[in-house]
Amino acid sequence: MSAPKWHIERLREQLHREIGTVIAQEVRDPRIPDIVTVTEVKLARDARNATVYVSIMGDGAEKQSAVNALNNAAPFIQRAVAARVVTKNFPRLLFKIDTSIEHGQHINELFKEIQKDLERQDDLDTAQ
């Protein structure tokens, strides 16, 4: 049976906050950079599984290594967060890289290129 929507939303917000705190203050793995941002937590309808999206600075290999380290540390993170968040069944955590920031930057670059092309076209039109 699935939990009420308000319960899922409240739990999602608590997990978002507490997971970020535990990663920043308690997880000690050299593969995980000092700054890891939890960008989103998605809970399954039954709240037994949670996908935690994280933003990590670095190249692809560094990001993948950090996510692997976070997934290896997931049981520790789950225990630490479960001590702070009261819920009947604590969700199993799965960490994934959030690519939305890079995607947004790529779209901004494309818009800038389009703007430059339009400005060049305007310059050509006025010169003729």
* Per-residue pLDDT tens over the stretch 46-65: 889 999 999 998 888 999 99
Does 42 lie in the same domain as 105?
no
Does 127 lie in the same domain as 88?
no
Is residue 91 within 8 A of residue 15, CB to CB? The reply is yes
Does 54 lie in the same domain as 69?
yes
Does 92 lie in the same domain as 106?
no
In this prediction, residue 105 carries a pLDDT of 82
Per the structure, how many domains does the chain have? 2
In this prediction, residue 3 carries a pLDDT of 60
Sheet hosting strand 92-97, strand order edge to edge = 36-43, 49-56, 92-97
Q: What does the pLDDT look like over 5-46, one tens digit per residue?
A: 778 899 999 999 999 999 999 999 999 998 899 999 999 988
Residue 42: domain span: 5-97
